[in-house]
Amino acid sequence: MSWEDNVRKVTPYTAGEQPKGRVIKLNTNENPYPPSPMVATRIYDLAQQELDGVTSMLRKYPDMDAVPLVDAIVRVYNEQYFPQGDGLTFDNVFAGVGSDDVLFTAFMTFFNSDKPIIFPDITYSFYDVWAQVHRFPYRMIPLKDDFSIDINDYLDTENGGIVIANPNAPTGEYLDPAELEKIVKANPDSVVIIDEAYIDFGGESCLPFIKKYDNVLIVQTFSKSRSLAGLRIGTAFGDEKLIRYLKDIKFSINSYTMNYPAIELATVAVLDTEYFNETVKRVIKTREWTKEKLKELGFIFGDSKTNFIFARHEKISGEEIFAKLRERQIYVRHWNKPRISEYLRISIGTDEDMKELIKALGEIVK
Ligand code: PMP
């Protein structure tokens, strides 16, 4: 017997590299544009106000409920998703330290069952890691050969919870909300988590479901469409009872997860809807340009509605292209895993980044 017998052992999630120096970084789905200029202005203002501003902010504990941020989210999301009224209230919203934190807490809260959690075999590779950390049984359901989800697999399968990324990652495949609604409806005794990390890049959110169903949690992030991966802000939306349960767990682990400056900065960012819309449009435009060029070079991929493209080449292996891009200081993501080892996940950078990428790929595949 050793203390090591009592260790909770797990193989951790492997994140994309964060290379130093001048590289073209298309490997972790960050937004290539800065966050709203209001964020920098707020940092500057706070730094100027010494005693009342930043120092007292750092001295005190932050607001446990992130009130200013949640209020701002309610306002902005109601304008976007519920313009006719009867939208979100404060009690429909949960905020955390990036959607990883939100999802982890949601797994712990809602998937506490002896039945397996179900999710696709190719999806965000944190889901199985979290299931292992919590020691929850799980079952990965194979995607179809074209990487689409067969929703019939989720309609009458016994489960202790369901998690689906929409659009899915790393495949980029998007499911229409009407399809996901069938899954939510067919599983009234499970919580269905819909991870919408990439929804702002062209998909339609399932957010309105929370007004109709008490078993669905919609999770979003400020890391992609709002260019704030470094700030760590994620959100969840659900029926009041669901959000209450989520908060009970959060407040039983660490009440003060988001720091005070992060709450302030995320608040000004979410209120700048004009900048948000403009940035998202720019990323989509560059994505569509990149798709055309990749097609010309012999790449094969589905119709991504995200800020990345999951593509393979008709002749050259994923591993080879990955290595040759890396030699040229261009970083994309490649997994040596069954079914997807021929693929590269290419995040959408600036127009200049993508021109460099296409130039390099042209040399590699010629
Ligand atoms: N869900 C999916 C599908 C993702 O790809 C990511 C980004 N790695 C996340 C959640 C987590 O993002 P964050 O914690 O930055 O909000």
**What is the Cα–Cα distance from 82 to 75, expressed in whole angstroms?**
10
Q: Which pLDDT value is given to residue 48? A: 80
- CA neighbours closer than 13 Å in the CB half-sphere of residue 80: 18
CA of 34 to the centre of ligand 1 (A): 18
Q: What are phi and psi of 79, to 5 degrees?
A: -65, -40
End-to-end CA distance of the chain: 59
Q: Which pLDDT value is given to residue 53? A: 67
DSSP-assigned states of every residue in 308-345: EEEEEESSS-HHHHHHHHHHTTEE-B---STTTTTEEE
Domains of the chain: 11-35+274-365 (3.90.1150.10), 38-271 (3.40.640.10)
Q: Specify the residue with its C-alpha closest to ligand 1, atom 6.
A: 197
The finding on whether 195 has its CB within 6 A of some atom of ligand 1 is yes
CA of 222 to the centre of ligand 1 (A): 9
Q: What are phi and psi of 237, to 5 degrees?
A: -125, 140
| C-beta of residue 242 within 8 angstroms of C-beta of residue 218 | no
Report the atom number in ligand 1 closest to the C-alpha of 123: 3
The finding on whether 159 has its CB within 6 A of some atom of ligand 1 is no
Q: Which pLDDT value is given to residue 21? A: 77
Q: What is the pLDDT along the chain (366 residues), one digit of tens a residue?
A: 899 998 999 999 888 888 877 899 999 999 999 999 999 999 888 888 766 667 878 888 999 999 999 999 999 999 999 999 999 999 999 999 999 999 999 999 999 999 999 999 999 999 999 999 999 999 999 999 999 999 999 999 999 999 999 999 999 999 999 999 999 999 999 999 999 999 999 999 999 999 999 999 999 999 999 999 999 999 999 999 999 999 999 999 998 889 999 999 999 999 999 999 999 999 999 999 999 999 999 999 999 999 999 999 999 999 999 999 999 999 999 999 999 999 999 999 999 999 999 999 999 998
Choose which residue among 223, 307, 333 to substitute to test ligand 1 binding: the one with the highest number of ligand atoms within 8 A of its C-beta. 223
Maximal C-alpha separation, the chain: 64
**What is the Cα–Cα distance from 82 to 237, expressed in whole angstroms?**
13
